[in-house]
Amino acid sequence: MENGSLDGFLFGDKMAIDWCKMHEIAVGTAKGIAYMHEECEQRIVHYDIKPGNILLDRNLCPKVADFGLAKLHNRESSRILMTGFRGTPWYAAPEMWKPYPVTYKCDVYSFGMLMFEIVGRRRNHDPNLSESTQWLPRWTWDMLQNGELLAMVTLCGVPESEREKALRMLKVALLCIQYKPEARPAMNTVVKMLEGDMEIPTPEYPLDPAKPSQSSENGSELDSESSSSRTVYSEGLYSKPEKQTVENEIELATR
């Protein structure tokens, strides 16, 4: 793959890719995951969709790569029993941290997180930014609720001719990261919505509705933990009992 991985273009020092091509990369990646989920003889669940695992050929066509964590899955069975954590912190679905069976919808969640980064041209979490914009999924939800999503894509540097595609991508991303797996669309539906062939339903609140973020008087979240672990679970992604598992996995991933 002559152009390496997508993360080099999003976060590294490689040349910038024009926005129209970025949209094509998002759609092409969605089609690749849809093929694994729906068209293979056995469903392939990747478990680690992220920019580093999206490779680009000489024409910047995306290829889903690195199947070291993938599993084959019979279509007759809707859930997979996990043995140990799989995936990468910040991209892995909430259910991946739990000792329960999971579905192929964990890939849908990770793809949604990838789309936020494509639109924002930055990592999903940046502690150097203002509190309201640090966590891209939360910022997107807040801007959507305030009717300011167009202003957000403008701030992200999306050219005017491509802003409709960017709005579509952010709305689909919010659908993909719904807390409950059954609320996330299938990847073939994601493709249709990204290409404009299907109307995008209004996203619901994507994080855990039982654990909405709380604010103190000065606007900061009520939590005494470190900023990294606070972002992971106080945003509603994970519950308090999962805190130690989350922190352990982040520590291992960042060594």
Q: Which residues are catalytic, by number?
A: 48
Residue 131 three-state SS: coil
Place of tokens 């202003």: 151
d(CA 102, CA 106): 7
Sequence-ordered list of residues with C-beta below 8 angstroms from that of 74, at least 6 positions apart, any chain: 42, 43
Q: Give one DSSP letter per residue of 150-207, joined into a string.
A: HHHHHHTT--GGGHHHHHHHHHHHHHHT-SSGGGSPPHHHHHHHHTTSSPPPPPPP-S
Distance between alpha carbon 38 and the CA centroid of its chain, in Å?
20
CA contacts within 13 A on the Cβ side of 51: 21
Question: End-to-end alpha-carbon separation of the chain, Å?
Answer: 27
Place of tokens 């990646």: 29
Distance between alpha carbon 70 and the CA centroid of its chain, in Å?
18
Q: DSSP assignment, residue 76?
A: T
